Amino acid sequence: MLEIKNLKVSLEEEEKQILKGLSLKVNPGEVHAIMGPNGSGKSTLSNVLSGKHGYRIDEGSVECLGKDLLSLEVEERAALGLFLAFQYPLEIPGVGNMNFLRTALNSQKKIRGEKELNAAEILKKVRAIATDLQISEEMLRRPVNVGASGGEKKRNEILQMCLLEPKFVILDETDSGLDGDAMILVSKGVNNFSSDERSFLVITHY
């Protein structure tokens, strides 16, 4: 599923090396947790795997789902089946949640050569997932994460994950900043989404 070999990574504009020879293998159906103090490179790893700019690969390789992950663009990694739930989900003013979800799903289907879904089909899928996560219709109509609490933003990330059905999921401190009720809902969403063909890399302080 994922194999990292001797990965060394620095910030592009600095000489400081953050990842210093990380190797990791994650098989299908496995959940791996990465823990460590602030500044140890946990979020750097998730950013590099997802394709965020600003990092320099000094050495090493990453293979994911049979592909050289580091050679792929961000959208290609997403279509391949990689998903990152952000530690701090962004607000996107002016972009409706449903429009965002529909565009993301159909963009990936188009890259994979699959049949795109119409608005009614996507709405049915989204509502079913949203009900389990206690996400309201009002929240679905909002711009992405605008005016949302920390718990709502994290639940929205899990909604995106369940809709897109990725094969390899990175949860970057999704548990941080949640109260007990929100933690239960997010955990339920993740657990219901687990399968023998899907793997998780969980970055956490807990």
Q: According to the model, what pLDDT value does residue 182 have?
A: 66
* pLDDT for 190 beyond 80: no
Q: Residue 67 pLDDT more than 90?
A: yes
pLDDT, greater one: 41 or 99: 99
Report the relative pairing of strands 82-85 and 92-96 from DSSP bridges. unpaired
pLDDT value for 50: 93
| Helix residue ranges per DSSP H, 23-70 | 42-50
* Predicted local confidence at residue 143, as pLDDT: 95
- Phi, psi (5° rounding) for residue 27? -90, 160
**Integer Cα distance of 192 and 175 in angstroms:** 16
User: Which pLDDT tens digit goes with each residue over 41-52?
Assistant: 888 999 999 999
Q: Does 9 have pLDDT greater than 70?
A: yes
Lowest mean pLDDT among 57-66, 87-96, 181-190: 181-190
Residue 63 above 80 pLDDT? yes
What is the dihedral sign for C-alpha 161, 164, 165, 167? negative
Kindly tell me if the per-residue pLDDT of 177 is higher than 70.
no
- Please check the confidence at residue 179 and state whether its pLDDT lies above 80: no
pLDDT score, position 206: 66
Name residue, tokens 């687990």.
Answer: 194
Buried b or exposed e, range 164-203, using 16+ CB within 10 angstroms: bebbbbbbbbbbeebeeebbebbeebbeebeeeebbbbbb
Beta sheet of 67-68, edge-to-edge order: 17-26, 2-11, 55-64, 67-68
Question: What pLDDT score was predicted for residue 87?
Answer: 83
Question: Using CA atoms, how far apart are residues 100 and 122, in angstroms rounded to an integer?
Answer: 11
For the record, the structure tokens of 4 come out as 């990292």
d(CA 10, CA 57): 7
Q: What is the mean pLDDT of residues 104-129?
A: 93
> Do 147 and 164 contact (CB within 8 A), yes or no?
no
Query: Which residues lie below 8 Å from residue 25, measured CB to CB, with a gap of 6+?
Result: 2, 3, 4
| Whole-number pLDDT of residue 84 | 93
100 class by beta-carbon count within 10 Å (0-12 exposed, 13-18 middle, 19+ buried):
middle
Structure tokens at 139: 């929240």
User: What pLDDT is stored for residue 109 in this prediction?
Assistant: 93
Quote the pLDDT of residue 178: 66
At 152 the pLDDT is 86
Q: How confident is the model at residue 193 (pLDDT cuts 50, 70, 90)?
A: confident
pLDDT at 175 over 90: no
Q: What is the pLDDT of residue 14?
A: 80
Amino acid at 149: S
